[in-house]
Amino acid sequence: MRKRFKGLALAAGVALAGLSAASQAAPQGAAAPAGVSNIAPTTANATAPAAPASPLLAQDGAPATTIEPGIGHPVAGRIGIQPQVTTNGQFAHWFHDSILVPLIVAICVFVLLLLLWVVFRFRKAANPIPSKTSHNTAIEIVWTLAPVVILVLIAVPSIGLLQAQFKPAPAGAVTLKAIGNQWYWSYQYPDNGGFEVTANMLKEKDQVAKGERFRTDADGPRLLAADNRIVLPVGVPIRLITTSQDVIHSWAVPAFWIKLDAVPGRLNETSFTIKQPGLYFGQCSELCGARHAFMPIAVEAVPLAQFAAWVRAKGGTMPTPGKASDKVIPQPGAEGSAAKQAEGNAADAATGPVENVTTTAPTSSQGATGNPATGNAGQ
């Protein structure tokens, strides 16, 4: 089923790419203000007219990937964790459902039964002369040690999971840099030519002006659908780097077991591997201002070949199929970072006393944060 769908999507993509030049020019031109009406600037890709050539999106912006019911998005009335598509997520899901919840339930039931038994057994009517017992060494040792043992048993897999969640990506990972903005996400693929994608929430039909693009069910659930999806390959490690332009945001996709704060001036990093193709939705998960609830994340996970086609359609490059560069991305202000190098150059070029290094702002920022490098130059 999925295989057939993949083939269809690919075929549709190729067909669209071929047709786009001829048939798409007219409607796109007519609907030109559609993209402009978004809140955030969508001028990310200045080099290539990417959208029409994208093998994954139809010309009108309709996605070629369809949503699988119950996977990658919330469902009304569902209790519990979303189905997981990463190793960490699957382990955490099992840990939660098979260890933690049963344990909590068992402890609660046990304590409740003890209470009921004590209330019944030691009631006044049955004990006209109260017992004077005040200590019982054996039972005190048990009720101290038993919780300790339980906590230690829980701690072992917990700490293992915690460690796994922050494991650096292995060599050959594809790097995705997610940048939080008030209030939208922008994305860069530093290993794939550094093109940028801006993702805004799609509004409902009654919220947009005539001719403007609005959300359809194919785009995704209300408040979760984005005009541009992030495309990532399946089965390839993803190096996720987050940062922010303004305030703290958080890049979170429940189906990936990923929630990583995006902090201005800093880079946070984690890695994950998506196991199955599909559409996965998430949201900013750090209260970041008035429109915090309206900066969704939509990830389209596709086979590597399709990812490569999308990258090329966006004007990017694939270093080696399935193998991104392993270059180290230095933290702002660290040795080897652009800001540090610029600082060194500025110091070399200075002929007189330098009153304040930070005033000689390097022309090139480190790029990782997108912030001017002046804030780091003096450190």
Q: How far apart are CA 146 and CA 291, in angstroms?
A: 47
Q: Judged by CB, which is closer to Cu ion: 233, or 296?
A: 296
Q: Tell me the closest approach of the beta carbon of residue 213 to Cu ion, in angstroms.
A: 22
Sheet of 249-253: strand order equals: 230-233, 296-302, 278-284, 249-253, 258-262
Q: Judged by CB, which is closer to Cu ion: 28, or 182?
A: 182
What distance lies between CA 50 and its chain's CA centroid?
23
Residues near Cu ion (CB under 5 A) are 249, 284, 288
Q: Judged by CB, which is closer to Cu ion: 177, or 340?
A: 177
Tokens 């694939």 -> residue: 318
Q: Tell me the closest approach of the beta carbon of residue 251 to Cu ion, in angstroms.
A: 9
49 phi and psi angles, rounded to 5 deg:
-75, 80
User: Residue 302: helix, strand or coil by DSSP?
Assistant: strand
Q: Judged by CB, which is closer to Cu ion: 51, or 199?
A: 199
Q: Tell me the closest approach of the beta carbon of residue 40 to Cu ion, in angstroms.
A: 12
Type of residue found at 229: R
Q: Tell me the closest approach of the beta carbon of residue 284 to Cu ion, in angstroms.
A: 3
C-beta atoms surrounding 35 within 10 Å: 19
User: Residue 42: helix, strand or coil by DSSP?
Assistant: coil
C-beta atoms surrounding 144 within 10 Å: 9
Q: Tell me the closest approach of the beta carbon of residue 256 to Cu ion, in angstroms.
A: 18
Q: Tell me the closest approach of the beta carbon of residue 263 to Cu ion, in angstroms.
A: 11
Q: Judged by CB, which is closer to Cu ion: 249, or 312?
A: 249
Q: Judged by CB, which is closer to Cu ion: 78, or 291?
A: 291
Burial category of 95 from C-beta neighbours within 10 Å (exposed 0-12, middle 13-18, buried 19 and up) = middle
Q: How far apart are CA 31 and CA 36, in angstroms?
A: 10
